[in-house]
Chains A and B, each alone.
Chain A
Amino acid sequence: MAYSDKVLDHYNNPRNVGSLDKGSANVGTGIVGAPECGDVMKLQVRVTEATGIIEEAKFKTFGCGSAIASSSLATEWLKGKTVDEALSIKNTDIVTELSLPPVKIHCSVLAEDAIKAAIDDYKKKQGVPAAEPAVEVGAH
């Protein structure tokens, strides 16, 4: 299977790899997927509480190259957005940006789910009811 240049770039130089303090009140963590399915994504955001702007985004992904690229791209897009703007990122935007083939669309869906799960976690910590239907978050 041939990978697009953008997928290869994110795979070879993943952006924002790492972890934030999941115990912190202004950090939202989303873990989606399952090892037996071959993909697990962990996506975290650190939000400036006063402005609601995402200062920092980090990821770690177990999965194929497209899954790694989707989550790496998601962290790039998250930085500087408000939490509500973050929820407007759609999996189809990721598919377009990375030129994912049909068999890899689930990687982009997983990245969107990870974003929602992370934002949802942050909102819960802040005592704000989730705007979107809550995405189930893995134990962490």
Chain B
Amino acid sequence: MQMPIYMDNHATTPLDPRVLDAMMPFFKDQFGNAASRNHAFGWQAEEAVETARKQVASIIGANAKEIVFTSGATESNNLALKGVAEMYGERGNHIITAATEHKCVLDSTKKLEKHGYRITYLPVMADGLVDLDMLRESMTDKTILVSLMYANNEIGVIQPVREIGKLCKERGVLFHTDATQAVGKIPVNVISDNVDLLSISAHKMYGPKGVGALYVRRKSPRVQLTAQMDGGGHERGMRSGTLNVPGIVGLGSACHFAAAEMAEEAKRLRYLRDKLKDRLLSELDETYVNGSMEHRLPNNLNISFAYVEGESLLMGVTDIAVSSGSACTSATLEPSYVLKALGAGDDLAHSSIRYGIGRFNTEQEVDYVAEKTIAVVKKLRELSPLYEMVKEGIDLTKVQWTAH
């Protein structure tokens, strides 16, 4: 077993060596600009980009012409939200999203609010899912866009995308989904899911960092966007800038392997994830899974170990790379807003650990991670005044704490 063990695959994934092999020629001899129309260097690059475009389209059931390459999902989400808002601003000024979206969605909508748009932030239910009735009731004549993520990056909860898409279609509202965590992990199809815009990132599916895509529907309806990056008119005018050919080839290749291996791999990941969950829950008391287990990515586990603070837990497992929703591990000193949105309470948010199992994790590694986590939680509970108080029968919610 190679140490340390990487099990933070929602943050990023290692590059698959097969993907790197596909990319290498485009760092070396085939360095052409895909927009060079009059020599072989350009043609080679363009051909590679078009192959990648088909591979990306194929994994989401789209047409290659509907794929716009970007620098990653953050850019794709920015382009979808701001591009739609600007293009359809005369039709309406209302956008619906949810409290548990990624920061790049929430910060984009916050910026739009400053420009006069009205944003509804849907709360989520205790399991992390949005309430479809609430979504329906939030729609008005002014609603131009609904943006809800496919699967959450912290708790792995999968939204009822198909139903959301259907609802949007009935109301003539565009539907964007940030599918960064979903594409390559679970089946995604823009036709059956009724999706109009969809964001993709390469480095969450064993591709390189710095490249992603936005699916923009061309038929029924034909979605238009106001470009947020002006220049040479690349990517059908929606995103200017010389194409990142090696990155795009990597994204295409990553989609190819993910699609080919998805069914088998999802089964394997689910087995490993469930094994990890079952061991943690059976050997530790007061341990809770955050978010729905039923509607969840097969590789995600987000657990709160009550009365143990997340950063101190991470400190005890230095040979394992996982992440925590604890405030002490974030730049903002605020605990995870996603977990807070579930209504779990700040104390459980501080006590949470996210495990993201990936393509290169083995069963032996999962066993080690379970064992190590259990040992450290037990040690820290010996140190925890809260655990002691609870064992003495004190109700922590009735205690007058001294906030600081």
Contact = CB atoms under 8 A, between A and B. Distances in A.
Interface of A: 3, 11, 14, 17, 19, 31-42, 60-65, 67-68, 103, 106, 109-110, 113, 135-139
Interface stretch (B192-200, B209-217, B363-371, B382-390): B382-390
A35 B386 contact: yes
Given A64-B309, A137-B402, 11 more contacts: A3-B315, A11-B315, A17-B383, A37-B404, A38-B335, A38-B347, A40-B401, A62-B308, A62-B383, A62-B386, A67-B309
Contacts of B350: 35-36, 38
Nearest to A136: B402
Contacts of B315: 3, 11, 64-65
* Residue of A14, A62, A138, A139 with most partner-chain B CB within 10 A: A62
A34 B404 contact: yes
A62 B399 contact: no
A68 to B, nearest CB: 6
B312 A68 contact: yes
Nearest to B379: A14
A106 to B, nearest CB: 7
Given A19-B388, A40-B386, A64 B402 contact: no
20 contacts: A11-B312, A11-B316, A32-B402, A35-B347, A35-B350, A35-B386, A36-B345, A36-B347, A38-B328, A38-B346, A41-B385, A63-B312, A64-B312, A64-B326, A64-B328, A65-B311, A68-B312, A109-B404, A135-B402, A139-B400
B396 A68 contact: no
Q: Could you tell me the dominant secondary structure of chain B's interface residues?
A: helix
Contacts of A137: 402
B384 A61 contact: yes
Contacts, number: 95
Contact of A34 (B308, B309, B383, B402): B402
Contacts of B312: 11, 63-65, 67-68
Contact of B383 (A3, A60, A109): A60
B404 A32 contact: yes
The 4 tightest CB contacts between A and B, nearest first, are: A34-B401, A36-B346, A42-B385, A35-B347
Q: Could you tell me the dominant secondary structure of chain A's interface residues?
A: mixed
Contacts of B327: 38
B333 interface: yes
B404 A38 contact: no
A43 to B, nearest CB: 9
A139 B386 CA distance: 12
Nearest to B311: A64
B307 interface: yes
